[in-house]
Structure formats: C-alpha cells, structure tokens
Chains A and B, each alone.
Chain A
Amino acid sequence: MSTLVLDTVSRWYGNVVAVNDVSMSIGPGVTGLLGPNGAGKSTLIHMMGGFLAPSSGSVTLDGQAVWRHEQVYRHVGIVPEREAMYDMVSGWSFVQANARLHRLADPDAAAQRALDLVEMSDVAGRAIGTYSKGMKQRVKMASALVHDPPVLLLDEPFNGMDPRQRLHLMDLLRSMGESGRTVLFSSHILEEVEEIAGTIEVMVAGRHAASGEFREIRRLMTERPHQYTVRSSDDRSLAAAVIADGCASAVELLAAHGGLRLGGADARPGTLRVHATDHTRFVRVLPQVARAQGIRLFEVAPADESLESVFAYLVTR
C-alpha cells in the first residue's frame, strides 16, 4: 500500500480555483511538494489526506478512493499544519490515545517507540500546553508514526523548528523514505526540499508546474541557456573560441568574487561565465578548444543547477 494517485484533480471555491487540473503519482521515497504561499499545497495535501473532496477528479491510494473512507487511515499518517492540540493532556497520553484510536495491539509499546523516534521520551510527561512549537511538531510526528503507516503526509513540517530539530527531522524522513515508505511533505523553503526530496512536485498558482528530480527539470528547461562557470589560465581566449563555435549565446568575464572584471590590462585571475544554448555541444567543445589553444582548465561547474533557479524560472513563467 504505497502509491497515491491524483487524477486530474481540481478544487474550486465558488469562483476561486485553488487547485487546477493536477495529476501526479506519489510513490515510495521522499517527495517534496514545493510552491509559493497560496499555490494550493495545503489544499492538495488535505485532499490527499481525505479531509477535502476534490471538486473534480479523484484521489486514490492504491486504487481505493481516499474521501469518506475511514479505513484508509490505517495506512496513512498525517501531520497537520495547525498547531492546536489537546493542551491539557501530557505528550505521552496524547500519543498513547492516538495509538489506542488506531486499535493497535500494544498501544503503550507503540507510543514509546514513536516518542523515542522523535526524541521526546524525556519530556513526554508534561502537558502539551507547556511545549514549545518545535516540541509540539515532534509530538505531532509521533502521533502520525505511532501506527507505522506506509504513507506519511506532512503539511509544512519544518515550521517553527530550530536547526537541530530540523536536521533530526530531515534524517528521520530520509531514513523513512529509504526504507520504502511514501513520504510527502510540503514546504515553501527551497533548502529543505533540496536536501531530502528525491522527487519534487512544484505547484504554482494552483497548477502543477513541474515534477521529477530537480536536475532533470533543469535539463528540460531548454529555453533558458545553461550557465557554466569556468576558471582557466586564459579566460579571454577561451571566451572568444566558445563564441566563435556558436554553442553559447553570451559569455561574461567576472572577477573572482563575481563582480565585473576591469579592462584588459588587469591580469588578475577571475571566472568566465558561459551561457550555453547547446550544452551538450558545449561540454564537448570546451576541452577540445582548451587543448588546441594550450589553456589549462581549473574548474568547470554548472552555475544554475540549483533548485532555486529552477523554482524562480517556474514561478515567473
């Protein structure tokens, strides 16, 4: 039980379309749902969790519709975004109650295991109302993991966590993804998604803008020239040769720290930025040209293969 399938799902509220014709398939591993605020990520996660009905289309878990089907929660764990919990019970009681509600055979052991996993065992005796935001998030995680679900949905899980807690949670999610679970989390912070998500699904203004591994998406963005940063012993000749070859549309001579380099007499080493329109040709041509002209290449690296540039491109499209 591990694949969530969304099939042409749309959700509208009167005249406002929150999610517009989204189709995606979430399989085992860690998937990041990325998008700016208001892109429809929360709506999508609520639909995947069976808390909101799609206005059209269907959301299914291994073929079984999620809406109005209580038994699906045996296989799904949900970490909601909203903070409110039962403030007057202790963390331990809360997780144990969740275990009982799942009709687990040994709720105490399951609760203990879940609390150990999120490193909350030592403070579990205190009332939830006394917890900090990060601790509440971890208790939420524990309550979602208590029945060991194959599918885990997290709505903005890193909200309010300090760096150490974030790293811990990232490790946890990564290990769960590696063990074959389907983990989906939403975020609008690129660094978080970049670090642990194998696949990303990008939502922009309710539409499904892109999906896949972000380097693959970058490769598909053919209108934008790929940028490469090159450091060599003679940037100018290299630049001239690359332009003459025609695989690049522009070259920039930058100072070492990125600013513009001053006039030709300045022989300080800097970097060359190449805007390659045909990057496959460029990566073949570059070493040939360098060898032909006797130029040493010190560094060749892609300059815009970050998720940030992918994301910026998708959002402004």
Chain B
Amino acid sequence: MNATVARLTVHTLLGRRRALLLLVLPAILLVLALVLRLTVGEDSRVDVAVGLLGAFAVATLVPLLGLIAGSGAIGPEIEDGSIVYLLAKPLSRHSIVVTKLAVAVGVVTVFAALPVLLAGLVLTGTADGIAVGYGLAALVAGVAYCALFLLLAVVTRNAVVVGLLYALVWESLVGSVVPGAQALSVQQWALALTRAVVGDAADVYNVTAAVRLAVAVPLLVAVTVASTWLAGSRLRSLRLTGDE
C-alpha cells in the first residue's frame, strides 16, 4: 500500500468523463428507487425492491461500475505508457496492484455498494434485511469484479470488451439459458450472501442464488486473491514497448 500510488490513481480514475459515468449510474438507481417508492403500493414494495436491486443493481450496475473502476485504475496508464513512472521505482509490483485495487474498491463502494444500500433503504426501509443483503452483495461483487478486471487490464489491452463479454454475455445471457454457467458467476456468488442475510424470507421474496453460501464465500475470496496476486506477477513481466 503506497499513498503516492493511491493519489496518482485517484487522479487518473476520477478524470472528467469517467467521473461523470461513475456519478450518473448510481444517480439513476436512486432516482428510480425514489420514483418507485412514491408510486408503488405498500405491499408490493419488497417485490419491486428485489427486482430493482437484483436485476438492475447487482446484475447490471455493479459489474459496469466494477469494470469502469477496475480497468480504469491501471488500464489507461498501461496503454499510454505512463505506468513506466511507477514501474521504474524500487516498489514491489504487488504493492502497486494492491494499492490500485484498494482505490478501485473505494470507488466501487462509494458509487455502487452505498447507493444500492440507500436504494434498498428508500424502498423497503430495514424490513427483512433486503437493503442490507443487497448492499452487502453489491460490495462483495464489486470487490471481486474490481480484482478480476484489474487483472484483465494488466493482461490484455482490450480489457473492457473482454470484461463486458464476461459480465454481460456470460453471466446474464448464457447464465439464464444454461444453468450450469451460473455456478461460475460472480453475481450468483454475491446473491448467496443476500440470501443468507435475508434469511427465511428469501424464498418468500424469490431471492435466489445458484450456489450455496458455503460454496460462494470461498469462491469469492479465492477469485479476488488469485486475481490480485496474478496481476502483481504479470506486472513484474510487463512489456513496455515504444510507440504503439
């Protein structure tokens, strides 16, 4: 963990246009939550919340924000070559990766997990732990996505497209058609946590997850740790060529 690296990463990550995207997406979620709160009847609020937070927030918003934050923490620097200033220092590559990941996780927490929690609270209050459950899922999924997409950004220059193919085409599309694919989906692992938090009411409100909690948590931890470590190793062998 290195404060200077963190500072520089914050500068690149919160550049003008990226910051705009990062602000607009959760804003839409919160506006929707407010509108729905005002228009939907008392009894169907929880169902609406489950739909909004599950299908919209965790399935769409969190992967997107994880992608923007995770790949944006290191991708632009590798692409234009300015990462040489970080690499030409007696700094452990793993420490660079961990610091950047920490910044990305911070961004995702503020712009994804917190808004999801707030949206849940706005819609359902603290009833049945829906808000907390989905907020937790958003946080955990966000961390895993950040680590995964940071690794992708170190490994390939088309990190964003590959990340999209995974998060959208694999997790959403293929996952909805081929049930087996859901076992390899970060979303589903995170939703297992939601199920655990919501507890008995999960089946009532149709909060489903494709894997059990006992499987999901180790998988999440394993993916996050492995991605971070791999990213650090690959950074040690990063090829910096001339103008490309």
**A residues apposed to B, CB below 8 Å:** 42-43, 46, 49, 51-53, 68, 70-74, 76-78, 80-82, 84-86, 88-89, 97-98, 100-103, 143-144
Which residues of chain B are near A86, meaning CB under 8 Å? 8, 11-12, 82, 85
Query: Are A68 and B236 in contact, CB atoms less than 8 angstroms apart?
Result: yes
Using CB atoms, name the residue of chain B closest to A77: B88
Q: Restricting to B86-131, which residues have a CB under 8 Å from any CB of A?
A: 86-93
CA distance A143 to B92 in the complex (A): 19
Query: Are B87 and A80 in contact, CB atoms less than 8 angstroms apart?
Result: no
Which residues of chain B are near A84, meaning CB under 8 Å? 80-82
CA distance A100 to B5 in the complex (A): 10
CA distance A144 to B80 in the complex (A): 18
Which residues of chain A are near B238, meaning CB under 8 Å? 51
Query: Are A143 and B242 in contact, CB atoms less than 8 angstroms apart?
Result: no
Query: Are A46 and B11 in contact, CB atoms less than 8 angstroms apart?
Result: no
Query: In whole Å, how far is B128's beta carbon from the nearest beta carbon of chain A?
Result: 45
Is B243 on the interface with A (CB-CB < 8 A)? yes
With A86-B12, A89-B8 in contact, is A51–B87 under 8 Å at CB? yes
Which residues of chain A are near B89, meaning CB under 8 Å? 70, 73, 98, 101-102
Using CB atoms, name the residue of chain B closest to A96: B4
Query: In whole Å, how far is B7's beta carbon from the nearest beta carbon of chain A?
Result: 7
Using CB atoms, name the residue of chain B closest to A75: B90
Query: Are B88 and A78 in contact, CB atoms less than 8 angstroms apart?
Result: yes
Query: Are B86 and A101 in contact, CB atoms less than 8 angstroms apart?
Result: yes
25 inter-chain pairs at a CB distance below 8 angstroms, sorted by A residue, are A42-B242, A43-B241, A46-B240, A46-B242, A49-B88, A52-B241, A53-B239, A70-B91, A70-B92, A70-B93, A71-B90, A72-B90, A80-B84, A81-B242, A82-B82, A82-B243, A84-B80, A86-B11, A86-B12, A86-B85, A88-B11, A88-B15, A98-B85, A101-B4, A102-B89
Which residues of chain A are near B12, meaning CB under 8 Å? 86
Using CB atoms, name the residue of chain B closest to A18: B241
Q: How many residues of B contact A (CB 8 A)?
A: 30
Which residues of chain A are near B176, meaning CB under 8 Å? none
Is B2 on the interface with A (CB-CB < 8 A)? yes
Q: Restricting to B26-46, which residues have a CB under 8 Å from any CB of A?
A: none
Using CB atoms, name the residue of chain A closest to B244: A82
CA distance A100 to B90 in the complex (A): 11
Query: In whole Å, how far is B119's beta carbon from the nearest beta carbon of chain A?
Result: 32
Query: Are A97 and B8 in contact, CB atoms less than 8 angstroms apart?
Result: yes
CA distance A84 to B79 in the complex (A): 10
Query: In whole Å, how far is B95's beta carbon from the nearest beta carbon of chain A?
Result: 10
Which residues of chain B are near A88, meaning CB under 8 Å? 11, 15
CA distance A98 to B165 in the complex (A): 37
Query: In whole Å, how far is B79's beta carbon from the nearest beta carbon of chain A?
Result: 9
Given contacts A46-B240, A97-B7, 6 further A-B contacts (CB under 8 A): A68-B236, A72-B90, A81-B242, A82-B243, A84-B82, A98-B89
Partner of B91, one of A51, A101, A144: A101
Which residues of chain A are near B3, meaning CB under 8 Å? 100
Partner of B11, one of A43, A52, A77, A89: A89
Which residues of chain B are near A103, meaning CB under 8 Å? 90
CA distance A167 to B56 in the complex (A): 61
CA distance A72 to B242 in the complex (A): 21
Using CB atoms, name the residue of chain B closest to A144: B88
Which residues of chain B are near A143, meaning CB under 8 Å? 85
